[in-house]
A = this chain, B = another copy of it.
Amino acid sequence: MQFNEFLNNLSNYEPGKDIEVIAKEYKLKEVIKLASNENPLGTAPKVIQTLKTYADKAHLYPDDSMSELKSKLCAKFGIKDKELIIGAGSDQVIEFAVHAKLNPKNAFLQCKATFAMYEIYAKQCGAKCYKSKSLGHDLKEFKELYEAHKDEIKMIFLCVPNNPLGECLNAHDVKEFIKIVDEDCMVVIDAAYNEFASYKDKEKHLEAKELISQFNNVLYLGTFSKLYGLGGLRVGYGIADEHLIKALYKLRAPFNVNILALKAACAALEDIEFLTQSLKNNFTQMTKYEEFAQTHNLEFILSYTNFITYFFNEKNSTDLSEKLLKKGIIIRNLKSYGLNALRITIGTAYENSRFFEEFSQILKG
C-alpha cells in the first residue's frame, strides 16, 4: 500500500525508558528513574484523593467543554475562556499550532538543542527548519536569522527555560525580542519549566496575561507534567489571543483530555503545599549536583529547571548511560540531540545520593 509521501521524512520522539520495563529487562529490584523530569515527590496528595474519588467515573466521556479546569486556569492567569486551549500535554498544543501555521512553503526557527517535538511536528507539515548555531537561546543570533529569512519564518520557538539544556532567558529580553517579530509570525513560548525558573529568579518569570495583551502573535504554553506532577496524565495548555486560540480549536479532536486527567489537574492546582515542597526540594538538591560536577570536573550549564545537564569530553555519554542503567539508574542520554551529554532529573535526596554513589564509581572506572 502507498502512503502519503510526507511520511517518509518523519521521525519519532525517543522517550525515557520505563521503570517496570527496565526492572524486568535487567532483573533489578530497585530502579531509579531520573530521566523524564517527573516530579520526584510523586503524585500530589490532593490528586491521589481526587483520582480515587473519580475512579468509578471512567466509563463517562469527559466534559468536552472542560469548563471546570478552564475556569480554574482562567482565574489563575487572569485570562478569558476564549484565550485558553487545553491539550493532552502541552505537546498537543504544539501540534495544533504547528499544523495551523506551518506548511512546505514556510519555515520555523529554534535554537540548536531544544525540545525535540517542535521539529518532529514541523516535519509533518514539510516546513523548513532554521536553527541557531549556538546550542541554547542566543537572541542576537535569533534576530539575525529571523531578519535574514523574515518572509519565510512564520513560527519561532522559545523554550524558557530550555529543555534539555536548562538555561533560561530573562523575561525582559524575551519581550524585547518579540517586538522585532512580524505580527504574522507566531512566537511559541514554551514555559513548561517556567515555574522552576521563576522560583529561582524573578527575572525569568513570564506573565502569560501580560504577554498576550502586548502581543497577539504569542502562544504561551504551560504543562501539568512537571511541577504539578501529572506527567502520566497528559495535561497542558496554551494561552493566546482569542483569534489564535480559535484556529487551534479547529484541530482539536473531541475528548482530547481524559476525564481523570481533567479532575486531577483541578486538584493539582490546589495542592499548594505539594508545589512549594517540590520547588524547595528541587533547588536544595540541585546544589548537590552542582557540587558533584565541580568535584568531578564536569562541565554543566546553570539550570533553571528540575534537571541538570552534564557535558563530557573524553568519556562517552552512551557508554556512561548504559553503565548507569545496569546499576538500575535511568538518566537521559542526549546523543539523539547530537550532544555528548547526560540530562539528569533532580530526584529526592535518596535518589540523588544513589546516583552520586554509582556515578562517581563509573567515572573512576
Chain A interface residues (CB < 8 Å from chain B): 1-4, 7, 10, 12-13, 15-16, 18-21, 33, 36, 38-39, 41-43, 47-48, 51-52, 55-65, 67-68, 88-89, 91-92, 95, 99-103, 117, 124, 183-184, 186, 216-217, 225, 229-234, 243-244, 247, 249-256, 258-261, 264
Contacts and interface: CB of A to CB of B under 8 A. Distances in A.
A95 B16 CA distance: 25
A179 to B, nearest CB: 16
A183 B41 CA distance: 52
Nearest to A14: B254
A186 B10 CA distance: 21
Stoichiometry, as copies per complex, reads 2
A187 to B, nearest CB: 11
Contacts of A47: 55, 58
B258 A261 contact: yes
A64 B92 CA distance: 16
Contacts of A51: 51-52, 55, 58, 260
16 contacts: A1-B243, A3-B100, A15-B61, A18-B62, A21-B63, A39-B59, A43-B57, A43-B58, A57-B232, A58-B233, A59-B231, A91-B254, A92-B253, A95-B253, A234-B255, A234-B258
Contacts of A21: 63, 65, 67
A83 to B, nearest CB: 14
Contacts of A217: 1
A60 B231 contact: yes
A254 B64 CA distance: 23
B260 A233 contact: yes
A248 to B, nearest CB: 9
B58 A230 contact: yes
A254 B124 CA distance: 15
A47 B54 CA distance: 12
B88 A216 contact: no
Given A100-B7, A232-B260, A233-B258, A250 B61 contact: no
Given A233-B258, A251-B10, A184 B2 contact: yes
Given A21-B67, A232-B62, A260-B232, A250 B13 contact: no
Given A3-B101, A4-B100, A92-B253, 5 more contacts: A1-B217, A58-B230, A59-B230, A234-B258, A258-B260
A43 B19 contact: no
A250 B243 CA distance: 31
